[in-house]
Structure 1
Amino acid sequence: MKILFIGSRLYDDIDWYVKSKGIESVLTESNENAINLDLPDQVFIVPRGMDGPKQVALMQKVDAIVPLIGIDPPLIDVAHMKEEVEEEYGIPVIAADVRAVELTSNKIKTKAFYDEIGVATPKYQILTGPEDLTLDLPVVLKQGEGQGGKDIKVAKTIGDVEDYFNEFDQALCEEFIEGAEISIEVLGFDGEYVALPPIYKGETTLEGTHPLNKTKTGPCMVEGLDNNLVQHVAYKVAKNLDSDGIYEMDFMFSHKNKQLYAIEVNTRPNGTRYLTTATCGVNSLCELVNMAIGEFSLPNVYDKLEYYYSTEIPIGDYEGPAPKVPVKSFEHNDFVVHGPEGYQRVTARADSKENLEKLVDKLT
């Protein structure tokens, strides 16, 4: 079995799994100085875009293509390549299709999609200027495209709204929900979908604290919230998107009115994947490989499910004990260190809250 992987930044997360399956790995990357280029069996440096990876896939006669892309801009090109390669050459591409990417890559289209399928989302309006505002302050201002908190502002006063329009001509404006931030991964392939356990990412703040600077925990344990509801809504969203790969979904749970709100959905690997793996034993990136080799199924995922308490802590530069090899796997580790130097995080798990606290004390 030969698989083409597109993008090297996330490849070290699954290199151990690819090798354990006896898969011949081919990787394309546009940056000749990128990390992890020493791991696959073959590496091809190609221009940006999807034409280079497509040509390599055909030249190498690969059995499947797995894009490992964690940012939004290339996803639409991947989707177009998927549809072309699958239709013309019969090579499966484990990624979202054009419709799913178009609906999820623009926050305004995503809002309309939620309305269409009957999923609750915060009240919103499209502003072309501060004078259009009819929602009560505070509000959250966003651009249609962007990720990682880019171009998002919590406006507490009309002056904050005016300041935002000094930089932008339009804004997606939604009511500010005071409550819990929740993330969940959904795996989808060939019409089958499974929602993994929700992750708690902290409370919303008027300061707009970035999720990377918060301590996150799994499974989500928020008073008044049923995790089965989160999984049910996430499944409904994925089912209506009707495509393959990983879905990353963000929700808010209002403590005031006990309402779950859908915020956004992305068709790519997400930042809480380590926590999800630590909490339930299912590694979403490894499942992409299973989709490529014909080993993905709901029974197989359910058989892997485990139950742990987990947490992810921003730590800067990790100086604790070294994890066992493979260092990015929870199969032989109770913690994983990830992220670039200076911004590293530790994700740890244990079979009880007490043991998790002891492990965190040991690591930090």
Structure 2
Amino acid sequence: MKILFIGSRLYDDLDWYVKSKGIESVLTESNEDAINLDLPDQVFIVPRGMDGPKQVALMQNVDAIVPLIGIDPPLIDVAHMKEEVEKDYGIPVIAAGVRAVELTSNKIKTKGFYTEIGVTTPKYQILNSPDELDLELPVVLKQGEGQGGKDIKVAKTIEDVEEYFKEFNQALCEEFIEGAEISIEVLGYDGQYVALPPIYKGETTLEGTHPLNKTKTGPCMVEGLDNNLVQHTAYKVAKNLDSDGIFEMDFMYSRKNNQLYAIEVNTRPNGTRYLTTATCGVNSLCELVNMAIGEFSLADISDKLQYNYSTEIPVGDYNGPKANEPIKSFENNDFVVHGPQGYQRVTAKADSKDELEKLVDKLT
């Protein structure tokens, strides 16, 4: 079995799994100085875009293609390549299709999609000037495209709104929901979908604290919230997107209104994947490989499920005990260190809250 992986930044997260399966790995990357280029069996440096990876896939006669792209802009090119390669050459590409990417990469289109399928989302309006504001302050101002908190502002006053419009001509304006931030991964392939346990990402703040600066925990345990509702809603969204790969969804839960609100969807690997793996034993990146080799099934996911307590803590630079090989896997570890120097995080798991607390004390 030979698989082409597109992009090297995330490849070390699953290199151990690829080798354990006896898969021949081919990787394309546009940056000759990128990390992890020493890990695959073959590496091809190609121009940006999807034409290079497509040509390598055909030249190498690969059995499947797994894009490992963690940013939004290239996703539509990946989606178009997927449709062409699957139709013309019969090579499966484990990624979202054009319709799913178009609906999820633009926050305004995502809002319309939620309304269409009957999923509750915060009240919103498209704002072309501060004078048009109809929602009560505070509000959240966003651009249609962007990720990782980019171009998002919590506006507490009309002056904050006016300040935002010094940089932008238009904004997606949402009501500010006070409550719990929740993420959940859904895996989907060939019409099969499974929602993994929800992750608690902290509370919303008027300061707009970046997610990387928050401590996260799994499974989500928020008073008043039924995790089955989160999983059912996430499953409904993924089912209606009708595509393949990883779907990471963000929700807000308002205790005041006892209401779950859908915020956005990402059709790519995401930042909570370590915490999800620690919590339930299912590694979403490894499942992309399983989709590629025909070993993905709901029964297999069910057999893998574990029930752990986990947490993810920002540490800056990690100086604790060394992890066992493979260091990016929970197979032989109860913790994983990830992220670049200066911005590292530790994700740890244990059988109980008490054991998790002791482990965190040892690691930090």
- TM-score after normalising by structure 1: 1.00
Give the alignment of 1:288-307 within 5 angstroms: 288-307=288-307
Q: Distance in 1 between matches of 2:215 and 2:255?
A: 19
Aligned residue for 2:160, secondary structure, equals helix
User: 2:10 corresponds to which residue?
Assistant: 10
Q: Distance in 1 between matches of 2:302 and 2:69?
A: 26
SS in 2 for 1:147: coil
- What does residue 322 of structure 1 align with? 322
Tell me how far apart the structure 2 counterparts of residues 290 and 174 of structure 1 sit (CA, whole Å): 38
3-state SS in 2 of match to 1:247 = strand
What SS class does the counterpart of residue 19 from structure 1 fall into? Answer: helix
Structure 1 position 147 matched with structure 2 position 150: no
Residue 236 of structure 1 and its aligned partner are, at CA, apart by: 0.1
Residue equivalent to 1:197: 197
What are the superposed Cα offsets for residues 207-226 of structure 1, whole Å, 9 maximum, x if unpaired? Answer: 00000000000000000000
Structure 1 residue 133 corresponds to structure 2 residue 156: no
What SS does the corresponding residue of 2:197 show, helix, strand or coil?
coil
SS across alignment from 2:341: coil
Distance 2:340 2:33 in 1: 15
Q: What is the match of residue 253 of structure 2?
A: 253
CA deviations 1:19-45 (Å, max 9, x no partner) are 000000000000000000000000000
- What corresponds to 2:334 in structure 1? 334
Size of the alignment, in residue pairs? 364
Structure 2 counterpart of 1:238: 238
Amino acid at match of 1:72: D
- Distance of 2:252 and 2:269 partners within structure 1: 20
Letter in 1 for 2:173: C
The structural deviation recorded for 1:133 is 0.3
AA partner of residue 126 (structure 1): I
Counterpart-to-counterpart distance in 2, 1:195 and 1:255: 23
Structure 2 match to 1:28: 28
Q: Distance in 2 between matches of 1:302 and 1:141?
A: 40
Q: Secondary structure at the match of 1:201?
A: strand
Shift of 1:88: 0.3
Report the counterpart of residue 211 of structure 2 in structure 1.
Answer: 211
RMSD of aligned residue pairs (Cα, Å)? 0.3
1:309-336 Cα offsets, whole Å, 9 max, x none, are 0000000000000000000110110000
Per-residue deviation, 1:255: 1.4
Unpaired runs of 5+ residues, structure 2, are: none
Which SS does the other structure have where 2:295 is aligned?
coil
Match of 2:82 in 1: 82
User: What's the CA shift string for 1:186-208, capped at 9, x where partnerless?
Assistant: 00000000000000000000000
SS at match of 2:22: coil
Q: Match of 2:77, SS?
A: helix
**Which residue is equivalent to 1:310?**
310
Matched, 1:186 2:192: no
Match of 1:285 in 2: 285
Distance 2:76 2:354 in 1: 45
Partners of 2:190 and 2:196 lie apart in 1 by 17
1:227 alignment partner in structure 2: 227
How far does residue 267 in structure 1 lie from its aligned partner after superposition? 0.3
Letter in 2 for 1:48: R
Amino acid at match of 2:312: E
The one-letter amino acid of 1:290's match is N
In structure 2, C-alpha distance between the alignment counterparts of 1:342 and 1:127, rounded to whole Å: 37
- What secondary structure, in the 3-state scheme, does the structure 1 residue paired with 2:26 have? strand
Give me the TM-score of the superposition, normalised by structure 2.
1.00
Counterpart AA for 2:37? L
Aligned to 1:108: 108
Offset, 1:232: 0.1
Q: Counterparts of 1:19-58 in structure 2 under 5 Å? A: 19-58=19-58
Q: Tell me, in whole angstroms, the C-alpha distance in 2 between the residues paired with 1:234 and 1:95.
A: 18
Q: Could you tell me how far apart the structure 2 residues matched to 1:316 and 1:112 are?
A: 39
3-state SS in 2 of match to 1:252? strand
Q: CA deviation at 1:299?
A: 0.2
1:62 is aligned to 2:62: yes
Q: For 2:149 and 2:319, how far apart are their aligned partners in 1?
A: 29
Q: Deviations over 1:142-194 (max 9, x none)?
A: 00000000000000000000000000000000000000000000000000000
